[in-house]
Amino acid sequence: MARSVEEWRDYLLPKLAARIDRNGFLRRMYDGDHPMPTAPNQVTEKYRRLAEMSITNLCGLVVDAPTSKLTPKGVRLSENGDEDLELWRRVWTANKLNARCRVAHEEALKVGRSAALVWPTDTGVSVTVEDADQVIVAYAPGSTYERLAALKWYNEDGYDFVTVWTPGLVQSWYRTASRTGAPQASTDWDVDPELPGGVNPLGRVPVVEFLCKPDAKGEPHPELSTSVIRMQTRINKTKFDMVVAGEDGAFPQRVMVGIEIERDASGAPINPLTSGPNRVWALQSQDRGNPSGGRIDQFPAYDTSGLLAFGDATIRELGWISRTSAIFMLGGSSNVGADMIRALDDGHRAKVVAHQIVFGEAWEEVVALSMVALGMTPPAEIEIDWESPEFGSPAEMADAAIKLRQVGYSFKAVARYMGASPAEVQRLVNERTAELAAEPATPVQG
């Protein structure tokens, strides 16, 4: 049954609100704002200080490692198979997507989804990266691609604003902000005359989602999975134990047995068992009349090697489960060759390629919508070019380039393999053409 734009508004707002708490938790984990490990009933200032020192944020690394290798560098259209440099400039460069695409990818890997909004402007097309807390897309039943509607909500200057797009219509409303500051269904909306309203000029829902590892139902699975968060919690707990050991037991503790315990001005016994580098534990003898029973002893410092080994093992396990690059997870390792690191990184590279495939389809839809906004007809096939997730030394790259030319790859193909952007490829082709034209012709032997 077809819904009106008002019905889509009231249907999607509660669904958007249901995501915000989970998204906020994942963002805090990414930022390193983790729950304090093993909090006691009464949190002291010393405990809080040690707990904050023990946080070792690997959640940020789990997200940032693949994000750093997700860089689109060009777009190909099916008509000729070459990069369309002019279209890339009008869509990608004009909207500063070289920088903003990283935000889209990072948010999707962090909380599971992000979005891009495409809309025609007087001078071309606008492509903006949207927050998953503010944008939601509805799909046709049984489909993970056919978009029926999209909604954007945001709060500003004491007002809630909301816009709904369907393939045929767009409508915007505003109202006084709710007390909770979260999106809520309501009947007291007023049409906003300053925001878009009326016929949708694109004829399509202009919001495209970027999903992290979507399943068969189209539900995303962020890199900060339950398993990753549990292992991060375990790492924090182990590091906390190490910090406590360093605070209270990193030095030998001297002990005096059989002496009289000091008392304070009120006559109360002073706690004799407070550890410290300049303290001595004093244990009073049961026979106060026998001072000869006193003696001095010493306890050794805590051995934290077991905690250190357990923490390192958990970090490696986190790397295996999240398929994070071994370059980060093998810090401090020795006698690990380049070939071994490359082999260990196979899982990470495969994960990055999988993200490129999923995110590439989303960017291809963004380009198609942008072409419609520019008055162009999208071709049957659009392909996004990505930078290679595998990094090699200059010598390795040069050797590979020579071999590719020898087996018949074009100069353009080799330049793309070397990581050149479409603009750089064109510049290199022009420079090479000019150099060849300037070279003197080789005389023909008669």
pLDDT at 185 over 80: no
Measure Cα distances from 344 to 232, 390, 442 in Å. Answer: 21, 12, 50
Residue 132 pLDDT level (bands cut at 50, 70, 90): very high
CB of 325 closer than 8 Å to CB of 348? yes
pLDDT at 128 over 60: yes
* Structure tokens that stand for 95 in this block: 């909207």
pLDDT at 170 over 70: yes
Residue 271 pLDDT level (bands cut at 50, 70, 90): low
Min mean pLDDT across 39-43, 84-88, 339-343 is at 39-43
The confidence score (pLDDT) of residue 273 equals: 56
How far, in Å, CA of 118 to CA of 363, rounded?
Answer: 11
pLDDT at 54 over 70: yes
Residue 66 pLDDT level (bands cut at 50, 70, 90): very high
* Structure tokens that stand for 85 in this block: 């440099």
pLDDT above 90 coverage of the chain, percent? 43
**Per-residue H/E/C for the chain:** CCCCHHHHHHHHHHHHHHHHHHHHHHHHHHHCCCCCCCCCCCCCHHHHHHHHHHCCCCHHHHHHHHHCCCCEEEEEECCCCCECHHHHHHHHHCCCHHHHHHHHHHHHHHHCEEEEEEEECCCCEEEEEECCCCEEEEECCCCCCCEEEEEEEEEECCEEEEEEECCCEEEEEEEECCCCCCCCCCCCCEECCCCCCEECCCCCCCEEEEECCCCCCCCCCCCCCHHHHHHHHHHHHHHHHHHHHHHHCCCCEEEEECCCCCECCCCCECCCCCCCCCCEEEECCCCCCCHHHCEEEEECCCCCHHHHHHHHHHHHHHHHHHCCCHHHHCCCCCCCCHHHHHHHCHHHHHHHHHHHHHHHHHHHHHHHHHHHHCCCCCCCCEEEEECCCCCCCHHHHHHHHHHHHHCCCCHHHHHHHCCCCHHHHHHHHHHHHHHHHHCCCCCCCC
Distance of CA 283 to the CA centre of its chain: 55
pLDDT at 149 over 90: yes
Q: What is the end-to-end Cα distance of the chain in Å, rounded?
A: 83
pLDDT at 282 over 60: no
In terms of average pLDDT, the best of 301-315, 347-361, 386-400 is 347-361
How far, in Å, CA of 242 to CA of 260, rounded?
Answer: 34
pLDDT at 154 over 80: yes
Residue 295 pLDDT level (bands cut at 50, 70, 90): low
The confidence score (pLDDT) of residue 367 equals: 96
pLDDT at 250 over 70: no
The confidence score (pLDDT) of residue 423 equals: 72
Residue 169 pLDDT level (bands cut at 50, 70, 90): very high
* Structure tokens that stand for 100 in this block: 């903003």
Average pLDDT over residues 283-287: 55
Average pLDDT over residues 135-143: 94
How far, in Å, CA of 190 to CA of 252, rounded?
Answer: 72
How far, in Å, CA of 79 to CA of 39, rounded?
Answer: 62
pLDDT at 126 over 90: yes
In terms of average pLDDT, the best of 94-108, 165-179, 248-262, 310-324 is 94-108
Q: Which residues of 405-435 are buried (b: 16+ CB within 10 A; e: fewer)?
A: eeeeeeebebbbebebbbeebbebeeeeeee
**pTM of this prediction?**
0.80
Residue 72 pLDDT level (bands cut at 50, 70, 90): very high
CB of 362 closer than 8 Å to CB of 118? no
In terms of average pLDDT, the best of 148-157, 267-276, 301-310 is 148-157
Arithmetic mean of pLDDT over the chain? 83
Q: Which of 133, 128, 138 is nearest to 112 (CA)?
A: 133
Per the model's pLDDT, the better-predicted residue between 423 and 19 turns out to be 19
Q: Which of 212, 216, 166, 170 is nearest to 195 (CA)?
A: 170
In terms of average pLDDT, the best of 262-276, 282-296, 352-366 is 352-366
Q: What is the pLDDT of residues 187-237, one digit of tens each?
A: 788 898 877 788 999 999 999 999 999 999 999 999 999 999 999 999 998
pLDDT at 184 over 90: no
How far, in Å, CA of 381 to CA of 77, rounded?
Answer: 6
How far, in Å, CA of 136 to CA of 16, rounded?
Answer: 6
Q: Which of 320, 338, 340, 339 is nearest to 329 (CA)?
A: 320
Average pLDDT over residues 107-129: 96
Residue 80 pLDDT level (bands cut at 50, 70, 90): low
